[in-house]
Copies of this chain bind each other. A is one copy, B any other.
Amino acid sequence: MSKPAIAIDMGGTRIKIGIVKDNVILVSASIDADSGNGLRNRLPDIEKIVKDLMNGQKLTPEDIAGLGIASPGIIDTNEKKILSIDKKFGDAPEIDMEEWCQQAFGLSFCIENDARAALLGEWKYGKAKNYDNAVLMTLGTGVGSAAVMEGHLLRGKHFTAGILGGHFIINYKGETCNCGNKGCVETEASTWKLPSIAKEYSSFSDTKIAHVSPIDYELIFKLAGEGDFAAMEIRDQSLQAWAACAINLIHAYDPEILVLTGGIMASSSYIIPYIRQQVENHAWTPWGKVKIEEAEFPASAALYGMAYLVNSVG
């Protein structure tokens, strides 16, 4: 029997905190990530919210299986450390999170990459249920991924396996990425890169995009739908880049199903059919078709995944 767990999803813009049992969120709250100022400054607020949520549910630490954090970056799940993380939460690798968790709550602790946590949630309770080979791709501020192969969540020797889909090179003559690589998927199409992609369009000052801020994909898809030429170009190039990422993930991990999630999926009615068609036309899968599905829990899969992990580890 699984017990409720404290599950925290450390996004770049919002931190979601929930008390979760299996795939049910008993109660939750969220705060601004304020990630530019580091994680350490956020810990007292997180602690207060967790305690408030527990009190509100009349739960003591004895009722709770443990606390699990889904974090961006490369996570050593054995040592329970953040090894490497983009600019967001830059101080995180220096913080002993397990010690913090022990001192604040007396709870056991685990931490996992956020895309892996989301795949775990979708695999145990959502769209990837009953598949032993599944890949998740998340389109948002960055591009994330994770893979389950032959019934095992792929982590790899140094914890980087499965999660670097956004840093597959899809344009080897392309621009330098935040990660130091060149022509990554993220550099070609992601929300963090979008404003500079838009600016590069020579016709930029003539388009509606020039007059709106911030530029995000919701806007791009909207303007493209209205026939704005620059927005259509950017939309089409981004779709091509995401389809290339999907095909590379399929070629790398040989899944039965690819689950798509992330903030950009608000435009899923456009994205899913495009990627499905590109994969059908271009991926080398002589055995048949990879299923391409939108996530069942776009907002909460990572929380469910962490609650599952907390119960499996503890």
A residues at B contact (CB < 8 Å): 74, 83-84, 132-133, 149-150, 154, 156-161, 164, 167-173, 179-183, 188, 240-241, 243-244, 247-248, 251-256, 281-288
Given contacts A83-B286, A251-B167, contact A240 B158 (CB under 8 A): no
12 residue pairs from A and B, CB less than 8 Å apart: A132-B157, A133-B157, A156-B253, A158-B287, A159-B254, A161-B254, A164-B284, A169-B248, A170-B171, A173-B240, A180-B282, A181-B284
Which residues of the other chain, B, contact A247 by a CB distance below 8 angstroms?
169, 181
Task: Name the distance in Å between A164's Cβ and chain B's nearest Cβ.
Answer: 4
Given contacts A156-B254, A158-B286, A164-B251, 15 further A-B contacts (CB under 8 A): A132-B157, A157-B256, A158-B287, A160-B254, A161-B254, A164-B252, A169-B247, A170-B172, A170-B183, A180-B284, A181-B282, A181-B283, A183-B244, A248-B252, A252-B253
Which residues of the other chain, B, contact A256 by a CB distance below 8 angstroms?
157
Alpha-carbon distance between A133 and B182 when the two chains are bound, in angstroms: 25
Which residues of the other chain, B, contact A182 by a CB distance below 8 angstroms?
244, 282
Task: Name the distance in Å between A160's Cβ and chain B's nearest Cβ.
Answer: 5
Alpha-carbon distance between A287 and B243 when the two chains are bound, in angstroms: 30
Which residues of the other chain, B, contact A288 by a CB distance below 8 angstroms?
158
Task: List the B residue with the shortest CB-CB distance to A240.
Answer: B172
Task: List the B residue with the shortest CB-CB distance to A179.
Answer: B284
Alpha-carbon distance between A284 and B185 when the two chains are bound, in angstroms: 14
Which residues of the other chain, B, contact A253 by a CB distance below 8 angstroms?
156, 161, 252
Which residues of the other chain, B, contact A168 by a CB distance below 8 angstroms?
168, 248, 251-252
Does B251 contact A180, Cβ atoms closer than 8 Å? no
Which residues of the other chain, B, contact A183 by a CB distance below 8 angstroms?
170, 244
Does A150 contact B157, Cβ atoms closer than 8 Å? yes
